[in-house]
Amino acid sequence: MNKPIRTMALFCMLLFAALLANATWLQYVSAGDLNARGDNNRVRNAEYSNKRGAILVGGRAVAESVAVRDEYKYQRVYRQPFKYAQLTGFYSYVYGRDAIELTENDVLSGSDPRFFVERVVDMVGDNQPKGGSVSLTIDPDAQSAAFAGLQDLGDRAEGAVVALEPSSGKILAMASSPSYNPNLLSSHDFGAVQDIRQDLLADEARPLLNRATQEVYPPGSTFKLVTAAAALESGEYTPDSLVKGGTPLAFDSGQPLPNENGSDCGGSRITLTDALRVSCNVAFGWLGLQVGDDALREQAQAFGFGDTYLRDLPRQAASRFPTGDLEPVYQAYSAIGQYEVAATPLQMAMVAAGIANQGTTMRPYVVDEVRAPDLTVLEKTGDEAYREAVSPAVARQLTEMMVAVVDTGTGTAAQIPGVQVAGKTGTAQSQADRPPYAWFVSFAPADDPKVAVAVMVEDAGVARDTISGNGLAAPIARSVMEAVIDP
Amino acid sequence: MSGRTPLGSLPAGFTHRRRRGAELFLLLLALVVGIGAYAAVGIGVEGEVPVNIVGYGGWLAGLCLGAHVVVRLLAQYADPVILPIVAALNGLGLAVIHRIDLGKLAKDKDATVLAGDQLVWMTLGVVLFAAVLIVLRDHRRLQAYTYTAGFAGIVLLLMPLVPVLGQEIRGARIWINVGPLSFQPGEVAKVCLVVFFAGYLVLHRDALALAGKRFAGLDLPRARDLGPILAMWGLSLAVLVFQRDLGSSLLFFGVFLTMLYVATERPGWLVVGSSLFLGGAYLGYLLFPHVQSRVEAWLHPFSADSNSFQIVQGMYGMAWGGLVGRGLGLGDPTMIPIAESDFIFAAIGEELGLTGTMAIIVLYGLIVERSLRTALVCRDAFGKLLATGLAVVFALQVFVVIGGVTKLIPLTGLTTPFLSYGGSSLVANWAIIGLLLRISDQARRPMPDLTADEDGPGQDDATQVVSLR
């Protein structure tokens, strides 16, 4: 009977070898995939019971984890919740993360591969792993000015502000209104979190939306900067070239293009500088027809239209210029930022920043430094040129034209005493049944730009005829620029 | 023939050493595992060594040393490795059940605590282990109870089907209620049936081994000899159909088949039996939604309509454990439903990692190996069959349950021997170990009379059986 017993021994050995191999497969080979699955609560629980790193602005935490006496050990706390909501995002057990909490999760949770050494030390020392912290490029004064500017329009005002440092691409301020309180979404009272989220999702003003980057709006007359840039880049125009003013632009088919309030822009032939200064629709519609839709499209793309270049925040919407051969009427309307042209406030800030930075746009970023749990700097984000939008000469010409807008044109509300400001207003119509969008883009000081701003007010709940870029948006832009220039 | 000395016929003059000192040393190591794990659970969960560590550790040590003393007195030549392995597994199982208790208490102050019960069951198990060694001085006595054991086994198996007595828990009707106690008679039936198979096959193996027709290089059995195998097939199908217990069904039939093969030395039985089982299992799959849902959960654990929450949580736990585990008390094993029972292996995988799970698989492998070695050196056919049967029961049970938990095969409900919470299983497995040590003691004991050795084991056991009656 010994031979079959030996055979059975071999058979049993095979069974146990299969068990060993399968355990290795499960716990080593496929462990990473299993841990990464969304419905795996263990990984989430473990992450929750670690001390998550802070999000810092100007050296102070705007989001941090504090120890609490419940089963999750730490509670995420947002110190200035509404002001920074769209930047920090939330950190919810039930609904996950958003914004920096999402994109920098590996750093904040401590699972980033750069923390390998720390994790080994923690494991040997039997300490709970700690997360690293992230410091943002945000200028706290500029952010306060931006958020206060939107708040002053009213609690339910819809709008956004973006400020960039033209030479580096650093995002100095980014505010969106209405905002929300991320503390409520990050609470450990999951029932309440669910209710809050239902309310936020049901809210027609969409408080969870970051209007600065996640939605596109008709840029209106601020897009005339792009049209002017295309004309100047073509080499056939200078700021003193005469362009058509006066009577509405008529087409073979479609609505004639009139000026705002039926004015004649100061004559039937005006200079390009004057056309921008008074924001002459007829002149820029005509100019759009002259340079053609291909040149407009290329110029828009050179500033970043059609692309998503922001790496630090999720769900950036790409700004757009209509594709395909456009009929003349649409070419003209596109040239003044109407028809299907749509841009994020960030994109229009990029246009201003590109002009301010001698024609070169820089890739915008908001994560300045990544720090290890012991606060040593692990990585500092470097500046990166994004695209050369216009030549330095054209940038200079555009700057002068924009200075004229603020000095004596439609953008006088942005004037700062003792500082030369370059800017452009915009008031864009979309549908007849909703208020127009008020825009203002600018940078200052014009000779040595420190800050470029775009302000967009979607709905401030004010009477329709009082809505204008100069009236609603320019004052906010001015206060943000002031906050950066003299802190 | 192969030039080496087969283990079954040891060289003349060879005697096994008793190795009781080695057993004691290994037992101390096993106690370090058991008590150390208990302390580690306390440190991991509450940050301090449990206050009752002395009482608990003393009780565990007392049980182990008591078992050792019984072996030293009554089974001097028994295998020295098996008892320490069992002690280590049981100690670790207790610590992990205690850990799961603490995890449950953290979530619900009124949760049922099980570790205390399990310690009582372990005590009963050790008592039964000692009783087996004390009462049964020679395993061949059991041969006299062949048909009694067979009858008892079948009655025990069918008991859960009796209307008032039987109780259905989580889809399987394998429990009976006796007063306040609930009991899984299948665990005891397992031992009875192995005794029955061994006794039956010793008597009938010549008839069963008679060659039937030769087909495709295999000696197929005669049709008239198919009776018992068909009866056993019917019984295991009945378990599958009426108790909806896939694991036990596979276990009983697999053990019967391997013992039949060992007794007759005819692989043909394996072919016939495996085809019967596969056919029956496939029929079961087609007929019973219960079986289909298990297979579905195995094939597509992540599909939404799959009834696989438990197995997926087990996999997540084991993956989260990774190579070295979260540490005892530092994982979250209570996320796996009923982790203290069938899925205790996954809880161990989470907290002790691949290192721990591999160690446990190897420990089980060693028990099987030592038992089969006992079967090889055993001098009588009944003992050989009994030891092989018990070893294979063990191996199959470990394979079915661990393979199910780690998603190697479809999940079927069986307990993890010595680790899972459950009295019937623990007590029955301690009895199995008692039987194995008894056989091992007989097998390794020096021959009392050298003249008896010359006829060879086959002739020998027939005369011995008679002399004992």
Is residue B2 predicted with pLDDT exceeding 50? no
Q: Do B418 and B431 form a contact (C-beta atoms < 8 A)? A: no
Chain A from 53 to 92: CB within 8 A of any B CB = 71
Does the beta carbon of A124 lie under 8 angstroms from any beta carbon of chain B? Answer: no
Is residue A85 predicted with pLDDT exceeding 90? yes
Task: Specify the pLDDT at position B267.
Answer: 84
Does the beta carbon of A94 lie under 8 angstroms from any beta carbon of chain B? Answer: no
Nearest alpha carbon to residue B136 among B217, B208, B195: B195
Q: Please list every residue in chain A whose beta carbon sits closer than 8 Å to the beta carbon of residue B357.
A: 23, 27
Task: Specify the pLDDT at position B9.
Answer: 55
The shortest CB-CB distance from B392 to any of A8, A16, A41 is to A8
CA dist B349 and A406 (Å) reads 70
Tell me the β-bridge partners of A243.
A270
Query: Of residues B366 and A259, which shows the higher confidence score?
Result: B366
- Quote the mean pLDDT of chain B: 85
| Count helices and strands in chain A by DSSP H and E runs | 17, 17
Q: Is A221 a catalytic residue?
A: yes
Residue type, A310: L
Distance from CA of B258 to the nearest CA of A (A): 8
Binary contact (A35, B320; C-beta < 8 A):
yes
The shortest CB-CB distance from B262 to any of A5, A18, A22 is to A5
pLDDT band at B181 (very low <50, low <70, confident <90, very high): low
Binary contact (B372, A12; C-beta < 8 A):
yes
Q: Please list every residue in chain A whose beta carbon sits closer than 8 Å to the beta carbon of residue B381.
A: 1
Is residue B262 predicted with pLDDT exceeding 70? yes
Chain A interface, best mutation among B208, B372, B385, by max A CB count within 10 A: B372
Range from A7-16, A456-465, B44-53, B207-216 that averages highest in pLDDT: A7-16
Q: Do B349 and B325 form a contact (C-beta atoms < 8 A)? A: yes
pLDDT band at B5 (very low <50, low <70, confident <90, very high): very low
Is residue B3 predicted with pLDDT exceeding 50? no
The shortest CB-CB distance from A19 to any of B317, B361, B375 is to B361
Does the beta carbon of A42 lie under 8 angstroms from any beta carbon of chain B? Answer: yes
CA A367 to chain centre: 13
Task: Specify the pLDDT at position B25.
Answer: 96
Task: Specify the pLDDT at position B402.
Answer: 94
Q: Please list every residue in chain A whose beta carbon sits closer than 8 Å to the beta carbon of residue B362.
A: 16, 20
Does the beta carbon of A37 lie under 8 angstroms from any beta carbon of chain B? Answer: yes
Of A221, A334, A442, A468, which one is the catalytic site residue?
A221
Does the beta carbon of A5 lie under 8 angstroms from any beta carbon of chain B? Answer: yes
CA dist B246 and B284 (Å) reads 9
Is residue B466 predicted with pLDDT exceeding 70? no
Does the beta carbon of A31 lie under 8 angstroms from any beta carbon of chain B? Answer: yes
Task: Specify the pLDDT at position B244.
Answer: 74
- Closest-CA residue in chain A for B209? A1
Does the beta carbon of A20 lie under 8 angstroms from any beta carbon of chain B? Answer: yes
Which class for A155: exposed (0-12), middle (13-18), buried (19 or more C-beta within 10 A)?
exposed
Q: What is the pLDDT of residues A35-84, one digit of tens each?
A: 877 778 887 777 777 889 999 999 999 999 988 888 788 899 999 999 99
Of all residues in chain B, the percent with pLDDT exceeding 70 is 87
pLDDT band at B287 (very low <50, low <70, confident <90, very high): confident
Binary contact (B258, A9; C-beta < 8 A):
no
Q: What is the pLDDT of residues B413-454, one digit of tens each?
A: 788 999 999 888 999 999 999 999 999 999 998 876 655 455
CA dist B337 and B206 (Å) reads 49
List the single range of A29-33, A123-127, A207-211, A304-308 with lowest mean pLDDT: A123-127
Q: Which residue has the tokens 């049981």?
A: B90
Binary contact (B354, A23; C-beta < 8 A):
yes
Q: Please list every residue in chain A whose beta carbon sits closer than 8 Å to the beta carbon of residue B365.
A: 12-13, 16
Range from B77-91, B400-414, B444-458 that averages highest in pLDDT: B77-91
pLDDT band at A125 (very low <50, low <70, confident <90, very high): low
Distance from CA of A192 to the nearest CA of B (A): 20
Binary contact (B335, A12; C-beta < 8 A):
no
CA dist B290 and A226 (Å) reads 68
- Closest-CA residue in chain B for A28? B322
Task: Specify the pLDDT at position B73.
Answer: 94
Which helix (H) or strand (E) segment holds residue B263: the answer is helix B246-264
pLDDT band at B469 (very low <50, low <70, confident <90, very high): very low
Average pLDDT, integer, range B163-181 = 72
Q: What is the pLDDT of residues B301-319, one digit of tens each?
A: 888 777 788 889 999 999 9
Binary contact (B8, A2; C-beta < 8 A):
yes
Task: Specify the pLDDT at position B39.
Answer: 93
Task: Specify the pLDDT at position B1.
Answer: 40
Distance from CA of B167 to the nearest CA of A (A): 32
Q: Count CB neighbours of B387 within 10 A.
A: 30
Which class for A33: exposed (0-12), middle (13-18), buried (19 or more C-beta within 10 A)?
exposed
Average pLDDT, integer, range B282-308 = 84
Q: What is the pLDDT of residues B312-363, one digit of tens each?
A: 999 999 999 888 888 888 888 888 888 888 899 999 999 999 999 999 999 9
Q: What is the pLDDT of residues A445-473, one digit of tens each?
A: 999 999 999 999 988 777 777 788 888 99
Q: Which residues, 6+ apart, have CB-to-CB distance to B433 below 8 Å?
A: B82, B83, B86, B129
Residue A118 token pair: 């720390």
Task: Specify the pLDDT at position A127.
Answer: 67
- Quote the mean pLDDT of chain A: 90
ipTM of predicted assembly, 2 dp: 0.90
Binary contact (B403, A19; C-beta < 8 A):
yes
List the single range of A6-20, A110-124, A131-145, B35-49 with lowest mean pLDDT: A110-124
Does the beta carbon of A40 lie under 8 angstroms from any beta carbon of chain B? Answer: yes
Distance from CA of B408 to the nearest CA of A (A): 7
Task: Specify the pLDDT at position B208.
Answer: 75
Q: Do B301 and B407 form a contact (C-beta atoms < 8 A)? A: yes
CA angle B25, B29, B35 (to 5 degrees): 135
Q: What is the pLDDT of residues A149-178, one digit of tens each?
A: 999 988 788 999 999 999 999 999 999 999
Q: Please list every residue in chain A whose beta carbon sits closer than 8 Å to the beta carbon of residue B367.
A: none
Task: Specify the pLDDT at position B221.
Answer: 65
Q: Please list every residue in chain B whose beta carbon sits closer than 8 Å to the beta carbon of residue A72.
A: none
Residue B231 token pair: 């009866």
- Closest-CA residue in chain A for B359? A20
| Residue B116 exposure: Cα atoms within 13 Å on the Cβ side | 5
Binary contact (B315, A26; C-beta < 8 A):
yes
Binary contact (A5, B353; C-beta < 8 A):
no
CA dist A355 and A304 (Å) reads 13
Is residue B467 predicted with pLDDT exceeding 70? no
CA dist B437 and B432 (Å) reads 9
Chain B interface, best mutation among A2, A3, A5, by max B CB count within 10 A: A5
Distance from CA of B56 to the nearest CA of A (A): 26
